[in-house]
Amino acid sequence: MLDYFCPISHSVPILESPIEFLKGVGPQRGELLRQELQISTLEDLLYHYPYRYFDRTKLTKINEINSQTEYVQIAGTLVNIYEEGTGRGKRLVATIYDDTGRIELLWFQGAQWMKKSLRENERYIVFGKVSLFNGLFNISHPEIELVNAENSAGGMQPVYSTTEKLRIKGITNRSFAKLTQALFERISSEDVPEVLPEGMLREYKLLSRYYALRWLHFPDTEEHERMARYRMKWEELFVSQLMIARLRLQHVAQQGWPFERVSDNFNNFFKLHLPFELTNAQKRVLREIRQDTGLGKQMNRLLQGDVGSGKTIVAVMSMLLALDNGFQACIMAPTEILAQQHYFSISELLSDMGIAVRLLTGAVKGKLRKEILEELADGTAQIAVGTHALIEESVQFKNLGLAVIDEQHRFGVGQRARLWKKNDLPPHVLVMTATPIPRTLAMTMYGDLEVSVIDELPPGRKEIKTVHRKDNTRANVMEFVRKEVGSGRQAYIVYPLIEESEKMDYESLMAGYEQVKIWFDENKYKIAMVHGRQKADERERNMQRFVKGEADVLVATTVIEVGVNVPNASVMVIESAERFGLSQMHQLRGRVGRGADQSYCVLLTGNKLSEESYKRIQIMVSTTDGFKIAEEDLAMRGPGDMYGTKQSGEMKFKLADIVMDSAILEETRKAAQQLLAIDPKLSMVQHQGIKNMLAQQGRQSHWGKIS
C-alpha cells in the first residue's frame, strides 16, 4: 500500500507536470528517477525530503575524533587515492587531512567508480561514521563532496537519499539539491496552497505550507529547519487523526442490531457452567459490551488484556449474548492451531448446553465443509470458530450478529471490513489483542474503536520467574526442566524459525529435537514436536498430545506463539532468545504461568550478544508487565515493525515518529476532534483544503472500507 500519510496537495497543474520537464532532468534521467525513487512529477520531487543537511558551520577537526565519536563531518584535502586487494576483497583507500591530522577513507563497493570521480589535492567535505580498525580511525563509505563556491557559502545544504544506480548515472546528493533548487525557481507560494485554515496556523504556531516545504529543503538556519519539519509532521499526524476521528464518527452513526435481551444461554452458562468466578475486570468488560450492543448502534470495541488475563471467556459470553438475541456469532483466530484450540475449548465449555459450535478453517474440506457452509447459511450453526476462512466470499451466515477477532494484529484492517458483507447490518465487532498497545500506537491504529481493558489477572497466579542463561550452561537448564517435568509439569522448548533462513533454522530445530530426546529419557518422558512444515493434521495431533497431557515436552517453533492454553505447563525455554523480538518473547512466556503453580521462563542465548539483544533480554528478565514491554518494544523498534503493520502500511509517516512526536500526536488528535465538532462534514469554506487532502488520501488508502 502507498504511504498515504504523505502530504499531497490538491491539483496544481505545475506540480503535476512530469519530472523530465524540469531543468536538468530530461527523458533519460526522468525515467531513472521514476524507476529508482518513484519520482515522476515535480510534486514527487517536492516531497522527496532531505534526510539531513551539511551544515558548513559544523565541522570536526580530525584530532578531535576519539573512541566516543560516532558521526563526523570534516573538511580537508584528499590525497593518496589507491586500490587495494583483489577480487571481492578489492577496496579503494584515500586519505583526507586538515591542519590537525589525517584519517583514512574506505570504499568496498563501487570502488572503480569512486576512484574515477575523486581528485587528489582537492578540498572535500566528508561525512560518515567513524570506526576503529587496528588502532586507527577510518570512515567507510563516507558521503563526500568537493568544496566549491556553491557549497562553501555557508548555510545548510540538503542531503537526499539516492540509490547506487542513480549515483553511478551521475545523480548524486548534490544533483538532487540542484534539481530541487530548479524546482523552487519554477514555483511560488501560489503553487503550494495552504491546506490548513488561518486560525489553526496561528493557534498551533505552524509555518505556512509553502515555507515549510521550502525550508525543509533549504533552511537558512537550524531553527528554520526545525519549524519546517514541525509543520509537516503536524500535518501528517493531523491528517491521520482526522481520518481516524471521521471513521469513529461513522461508526457511531452506524446502525447495529440491538441485543436487547439477556436470556437462557447467557444465564444458564453463568449459573451452571462457568468453571471459575469471573474477575472484576472481566465482569466490567462484559457490562461494557452489553451496554454497547444494546443501543441499536454497531459496536466496534477493542478488548485489550495481557496474555493469560482471560479474554476467551469474555468472548464466549458475548457470543452467548448474541445467541440469546437470535443471532449467530463467530470468533476468528489468526492461525489454524489457535482456531482449533478455541474450537475445542469453546465446545467443551458449552458441551452441556446444546449449542451448535462449528469449526471452519482452510483445512476443513470436501463434504464436511459443504455441510458446515450449509449450516452457517441456514442458521443451524450458531457459533462458528475459524480462521480467515470465515470471511471468504463463499461463507454466508444466516444472521451474523457478533464477530470476535482474536489477536487482531495478525488481521489486516481490510479484513475487518469484509465482515460488513455478512449481514444486512454489520455485525458487532469485538477485537481482542493480547499485546498491550502503547497509547500512541493505540491512537493511530485503533483510534476508531472503543476500548475495554482487562487489567487484572485471574487470582492465584504467581509471577513467572524469568532467567537468562547462556548456551554453555545448557546442561543445567535441561536438568532443571527434567526436574519440573519429573514432578508432573509440562515444558515448552521453542526454537526460532524465521523465513529467510528457514532451512538452517529447520535443521537446528531437528538437531534440538534429537538432543532433547537424549536429555529426556524417551522411555520415561514423551516428547512432541510441532512446526510449520508439518501437515496440519500431524501438527494438530502432536499439539493435542501436549494439550491433553500425553506429552511432557513440546519442542516447537513459534507456531505456538499465540493463544495456546495448557495450564499445566510450567516451563518455557526459548532457544536462541537473542533472535526473538520483545513482544514475541512476551507472548511465548505467556504460555506458562496459566495455572496456580510457580512457572519459569528460561531465555537461552549464545555466549556473545549484541548490545540490543542484551537489552531485550534484560527487559524480559526485569519485568512481566506486558505494557512496559510493549512500550520498550515500540521505543526500540519503532512502530513500523510492530504488529505486522509494516505490510499494511497503516502507520507510514514520512517525517513523524509516533514515539518521538507523541506530543504532536496528542495535539493533532484534539485538533481533529475539535474541527469535526464544529464542522463534521467539512463543508465550511475554510476547511476545503483539508477536505480535498483527505479525499486524496482516502482514495489511496481504502480507508473508506474499514469497519
| Residue 308: contacted member of Mg ion, ligand ADP, none (CB under 5 to 8 Å, by partner type) | ligand ADP
**Shortest spacing between CB 307 and ligand ADP, in angstroms:** 4
- Cα gap 482→16, rounded to integer Å: 69
Closest CB to Mg ion among residues 45, 338? 338
**Shortest spacing between CB 459 and ligand ADP, in angstroms:** 6
Burial class (CB in 10 A: 0-12, 13-18, 19+), 43: buried
**Shortest spacing between CB 341 and Mg ion, in angstroms:** 9
Among 367, 360, 410, smallest CA distance to 389 is for: 360
**Shortest spacing between CB 309 and Mg ion, in angstroms:** 9
Closest CB to Mg ion among residues 5, 643? 643
Closest CB to Mg ion among residues 320, 604? 320
Closest CB to Mg ion among residues 245, 405? 405
Strand order in the sheet with 465-470: 465-470, 600-605, 569-574, 490-494, 553-556, 527-530
Closest CB to ligand ADP among residues 567, 698? 567
Output the nine-digit C-alpha cell for 464.
513467572
β-pair type (52-55, 156-159)? antiparallel
Residue whose C-beta lies closest to ligand ADP: 310
**Shortest spacing between CB 27 and ligand ADP, in angstroms:** 59
Closest CB to ligand ADP among residues 20, 456? 456
3-state SS assignment for residue 135: coil
| Residue 594: contacted member of ligand ADP, Mg ion, none (CB under 5 to 8 Å, by partner type) | ligand ADP
Closest CB to Mg ion among residues 404, 604? 404
Tell which phi-psi region holds residue 59, choosing left (phi > 0), alpha (psi between -120 and 50) or beta: beta
| Residue 491: contacted member of Mg ion, ligand ADP, none (CB under 5 to 8 Å, by partner type) | none
Please report, as ranges, the residues that interact with ligand ADP according to CB under 6 A: 276-279, 282, 305, 307-313, 434, 458, 563, 565, 567, 594
Q: Write out the H or E segment, with its range, that includes residue 386.
A: strand 383-386
**Shortest spacing between CB 311 and Mg ion, in angstroms:** 5
Output the nine-digit C-alpha cell for 406.
482474536
Closest CB to ligand ADP among residues 128, 626? 626
Residue whose C-beta lies closest to Mg ion: 563
Closest CB to ligand ADP among residues 217, 586? 586
Please report, as ranges, the residues that interact with Mg ion according to CB under 5 A: 563
**Shortest spacing between CB 494 and ligand ADP, in angstroms:** 17
| Residue 201: contacted member of ligand ADP, Mg ion, none (CB under 5 to 8 Å, by partner type) | none
- Cα gap 656→620, rounded to integer Å: 28
Q: What is the DSSP letter of 159?
A: E
| Residue 409: contacted member of Mg ion, ligand ADP, none (CB under 5 to 8 Å, by partner type) | none
| Residue 444: contacted member of Mg ion, ligand ADP, none (CB under 5 to 8 Å, by partner type) | none
Closest CB to ligand ADP among residues 279, 697? 279
Burial class (CB in 10 A: 0-12, 13-18, 19+), 140: middle
| Residue 567: contacted member of Mg ion, ligand ADP, none (CB under 5 to 8 Å, by partner type) | ligand ADP
DSSP string, 316-381: HHHHHHHHHTT-EEEEE-SSHHHHHHHHHHHHHHTGGGT--EEEE-TT--HHHHHHHHHHHHHT--
Closest CB to Mg ion among residues 248, 594? 594
**Shortest spacing between CB 405 and ligand ADP, in angstroms:** 13
Q: Write out the H or E segment, with its range, that includes residue 527.
A: strand 527-530
**Shortest spacing between CB 547 and ligand ADP, in angstroms:** 11
| Residues forming a β-bridge with 467 | 602
- Cα gap 353→210, rounded to integer Å: 67
**Shortest spacing between CB 562 and Mg ion, in angstroms:** 7
**Shortest spacing between CB 343 and ligand ADP, in angstroms:** 14
Among 103, 105, 107, 145, smallest CA distance to 124 is for: 145
Among 615, 620, 608, 609, smallest CA distance to 572 is for: 620
SS (H, E, C) 485-509: HHCCCEEEEECCCCHHHHHHHHHHH
| Chain Cα centroid distance, residue 357 | 33
**Shortest spacing between CB 328 and ligand ADP, in angstroms:** 22
What are the C-alpha distances in Å from 20 to residues 41, 165, 182, 433?
Answer: 8, 18, 12, 48
| Residue 279: contacted member of ligand ADP, Mg ion, none (CB under 5 to 8 Å, by partner type) | ligand ADP
Angle between helices 209-217 and 173-186 (to 10 degrees): 150
Closest CB to Mg ion among residues 563, 593? 563
**Residue corresponding to grid cell 518473547:** 585
- Sign of the four-CA dihedral 272, 274, 279, 282: negative
